[in-house]
Chains A and B, each alone.
Chain A
């Protein structure tokens, strides 16, 4: 069945460092791909999405490109801030409008 694999956390970086959080997927068909972010004590927020191969989603300085050839959707940011500390979830669209979720990656940014 469809699945999403994320790099294990926590990922700890210093402020202004470059961020990559890896996400790979297994799916039949051509799903949409998502990154959601969960700040401490809050619900999930949609960070960005891509609906077809080679699409790039972007928001708040974060980017991810839908790579069909490598079945990947890695999240990147050029310069992270302390306020980016959160848990990041990669997901893909499954059947019946459901989402298939990765395990989540906790990001810790130190000043």
Chain B
């Protein structure tokens, strides 16, 4: 498995502002993913964070709204830009290692936008 931390664990933000979420892994990993989980819902993949290149976004998510960085094999950030109340969700990062298909999750960031 992997030990994954996320910062912040929760935040309350005003509409129109931006929040950057950090994901730190205790060892190098091949792939990192960012998910959104809206209240009472399942997980929706936002993007795959690629080390050294641009993230790969899923349909319905764009870089201008959710810019992602991955400067090395243990760290990634997701920014939620120009927030609205509809962005209130849990944001989760996950990783897999050694090209296996098992993903391990961070504890999540609980975002409330007023």
A45 and B105 contact, CB distance less than 8 A: yes
A93 nearest CB neighbor, chain B only: B101
**Which of A31, A45, A89 is the one whose CB lies under 8 Å from B42?**
A89
- Which range holds the interface residue count of chain B? 20 to 34
A102 and B42 contact, CB distance less than 8 A: yes
A43 and B99 contact, CB distance less than 8 A: no
Complex Cα distance A42/B6, Å?
12
Complex Cα distance A97/B99, Å?
7
B101 and A89 contact, CB distance less than 8 A: no
**Which of B48, B99, B108 is the one whose CB lies under 8 Å from A98?**
B48
CB 8 Å contact bits of B67-107 with A (1 = contact, 0 = none):
00000000000000000000000001010100111111111
Complex Cα distance A93/B103, Å?
10
- Which range holds the interface residue count of chain A? 20 to 34
Complex Cα distance A102/B45, Å?
13
For B6, the chain A residues whose CB sits under 8 A away are 43
CB 8 Å contact bits of A95-111 with B (1 = contact, 0 = none):
01111011110000000
Q: Which of A64-108 contact B (CB under 8 A)?
A: 89, 93, 96-99, 101-104
B101 and A43 contact, CB distance less than 8 A: no
Tell me, yes or no, whether B33 is within 8 Å of chain A by CB. Answer: yes
For A17, the chain B residues whose CB sits under 8 A away are none
**Which of A34, A42, A97, A103 is the one whose CB lies under 8 Å from B107?**
A42
Complex Cα distance A96/B42, Å?
20
A43 and B48 contact, CB distance less than 8 A: no
For A44, the chain B residues whose CB sits under 8 A away are 43, 92, 94, 105
B42 and A97 contact, CB distance less than 8 A: no
**Which of B30, B41, B101, B106 is the one whose CB lies under 8 Å from A99?**
B101
Complex Cα distance A46/B102, Å?
8
List chain B positions with a Cβ less than 8 A from chain A. Answer: 1, 6, 30-31, 33, 41-43, 45, 48, 56, 92, 94, 96, 99-108
List chain A positions with a Cβ less than 8 A from chain B. Answer: 31-32, 34, 36, 42-46, 49, 89, 93, 96-99, 101-104
